[in-house]
């Protein structure tokens, strides 16, 4: 009689598979990288696809899929598929309940379609989220001497938001902005004991990736917040947080990312109450004394 696989076993198998893929990703041909990205982003789906279906889905040949599996040390696609099936997560979310409610509304209404897309982003983010990485990131930020956040485009806005939120919970953070001065110059003071948080979403900025590499070389810890496990920034980061950013428009959606930011900051607040309380009290007192609040 077969025994049920626990959720923790699912997660450990999935993490091991991801590690195998990422260790070889940069050496893979482009077509095999397409297969790798698919597994990194949809490991649960792969367990139920045939080689023919996957080849059509990704517009690659069946031998490409077999060669990819062998590059990871498997005899063929069937062995890789068994690994993915073993990593199938046991827990389900409640998003279907909300989706059902939304579908009772007008299907073509823009608001409904956007909310549906955002719920999918949040659902996929939570389903594939690594809690161990989350805890490691929280500890890194708590222990950091200085935290630098960076990004370009919408990532710049997320960078500013994150730095603001971190300062609210007594973590010394600064958002560095690209402009006349490049990121590598702004990170010139970063060294061991500091943490750089790099936001990187498609189209990926070469400047952000180069700055992350520069910061890592100087001894700083780099946390990458990105959309897939194989994005260019991840190869220069000690910790990687992945959030889905699919959008109906060209720009990236930030709903799932802001939830992750809020969760990180909230966890820091819970672990850092002694430092936060006097800081908040001092700021509130100063705001009242200078009449910054409306009556």
Question: Quick one: 56 and 188 in the same domain?
Answer: no
User: End of a domain among 30, 54, 86?
Assistant: 86
Q: Is 59 left (phi over 0), alpha (psi -120 to 50) or beta?
A: left
Confidence class of residue 11 from pLDDT cuts 50, 70 and 90?
Answer: low
- Residue 13 CA to residue 261 CA, distance in Å, equals 27
In a domain, 32, yes or no: yes
The pLDDT of residue 160 is 95
Question: Quick one: 139 and 178 in the same domain?
Answer: yes
In 122-268 the beta strands, taken as DSSP E runs, fall at 147-150, 173-176, 195-200, 221-226, 239-242
Q: Which two tokens stand for residue 160?
A: 């500013």
Using the predicted structure, report yes or no on whether residue 65 has a pLDDT greater than 60: yes
Greater confidence (85 vs 268) lies with 268
Using the predicted structure, report yes or no on whether residue 246 has a pLDDT greater than 90: no
- Residue 168 CA to residue 72 CA, distance in Å, equals 44
In a domain, 291, yes or no: no
Greater confidence (40 vs 196) lies with 196
**How many domains does the chain fold into?**
3
Question: Quick one: 121 and 47 in the same domain?
Answer: no
Using the predicted structure, report yes or no on whether residue 3 has a pLDDT greater than 50: no
Confidence class of residue 285 from pLDDT cuts 50, 70 and 90?
Answer: confident
Question: Quick one: 198 and 123 in the same domain?
Answer: no
Burial of 107 (0-12, 13-18, 19+ CB in 10 A): exposed
Those residues whose C-beta lies under 8 Å from the C-beta of residue 45, and which sit 6 or more positions away, are none
Question: Quick one: 161 and 179 in the same domain?
Answer: yes
The pLDDT of residue 2 is 37
Question: Quick one: 230 and 244 in the same domain?
Answer: yes
The pLDDT of residue 93 is 41
In a domain, 210, yes or no: yes
For the segment 67-118, what is each residue's pLDDT rounded down to a tens digit? 999 999 888 888 877 766 655 543 334 445 545 554 555 555 777 777 888 8
Question: Quick one: 192 and 263 in the same domain?
Answer: yes
Using the predicted structure, report yes or no on whether residue 221 has a pLDDT greater than 60: yes
CATH number assigned to the domain comprising residue 67: 1.10.10.10
Those residues whose C-beta lies under 8 Å from the C-beta of residue 5, and which sit 6 or more positions away, are 86, 90
In a domain, 74, yes or no: yes
Can you give the residue range of the structural domain that contains 123?
96-127
Burial 24-39 (b: 16+ CB within 10 A, else e): bbeebeebbbbbbbbb
For the segment 135-171, what is each residue's pLDDT rounded down to a tens digit? 999 999 999 999 999 999 889 999 999 999 999 888 9
CATH number assigned to the domain comprising residue 137: 3.40.50.10490
The pLDDT of residue 144 is 95
In a domain, 21, yes or no: yes
Using the predicted structure, report yes or no on whether residue 48 has a pLDDT greater than 70: no
Confidence class of residue 226 from pLDDT cuts 50, 70 and 90?
Answer: very high
Using the predicted structure, report yes or no on whether residue 231 has a pLDDT greater than 70: yes
Using the predicted structure, report yes or no on whether residue 7 has a pLDDT greater than 50: no
Neighbours of 82 (CB within 10 A): 12
Using the predicted structure, report yes or no on whether residue 238 has a pLDDT greater than 70: yes
Residue 259 Cα to chain centre, angstroms: 11
In a domain, 226, yes or no: yes
DSSP designation for 33: H
Question: Quick one: 192 and 272 in the same domain?
Answer: yes
Its pTM stands at: 0.69
Using the predicted structure, report yes or no on whether residue 283 has a pLDDT greater than 50: yes
Nearest CA-CA partner of 224 in 232, 90, 54, 132: 232
Question: Quick one: 109 and 39 in the same domain?
Answer: no
Question: Quick one: 135 and 274 in the same domain?
Answer: yes
CA dihedral sign, ordered 241, 246, 250, 254: negative
Question: Quick one: 118 and 47 in the same domain?
Answer: no
- Residue 124 CA to residue 118 CA, distance in Å, equals 10
Question: Quick one: 140 and 122 in the same domain?
Answer: no
**Residue 161 near residue 279, CB atoms below 8 Å:** no
């Amino acid at each position: 009689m077969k025994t049920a696989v626990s959720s923790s076993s699912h997660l450990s198998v999935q993490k091991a598979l991801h590690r195998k893929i990422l260790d070889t990703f940069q050496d893979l041909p482009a077509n095999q990288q397409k297969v790798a990205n698919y597994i990194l982003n949809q490991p649960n789906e792969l367990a139920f696809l045939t080689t023919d279906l996957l080849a059509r889905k990704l517009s690659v040949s069946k031998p490409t899929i077999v060669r990819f599996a062998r590059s990871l040390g498997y005899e063929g696609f069937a062995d890789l598929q068994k690994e993915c099936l073993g990593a199938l997560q046991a827990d389900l979310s409640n998003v279907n309940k909300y989706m059902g409610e939304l579908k009772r509304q007008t299907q073509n209404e823009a608001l409904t379609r956007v909310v549906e897309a955002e719920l999918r982003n949040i659902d996929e983010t939570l389903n594939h989220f690594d809690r161990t990485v989350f805890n490691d990131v929280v500890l890194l930020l708590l222990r950091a001497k200085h935290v630098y956040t960076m990004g370009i485009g919408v990532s710049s806005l997320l960078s500013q938001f994150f730095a603001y939120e971190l300062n609210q919970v007594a973590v010394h953070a600064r958002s560095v902005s690209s402009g006349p001065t490049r990121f590598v110059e702004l990170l010139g003071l970063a060294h061991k004991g500091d943490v750089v948080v790099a936001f990187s979403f498609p189209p990926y900025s070469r400047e952000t990736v180069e700055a992350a590499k520069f910061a890592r070389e100087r001894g700083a810890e780099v946390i990458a917040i990105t959309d897939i496990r194989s994005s260019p920034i991840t190869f220069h980061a000690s910790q990687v947080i992945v959030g889905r950013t699919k959008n109906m428009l060209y720009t990236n959606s930030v709903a799932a990312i802001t939830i992750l930011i809020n969760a990180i900051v909230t966890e820091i607040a819970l672990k850092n109450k002694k430092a936060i309380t006097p800081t908040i009290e001092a700021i509130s007192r100063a705001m009242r004394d200078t009449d910054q609040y409306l009556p």
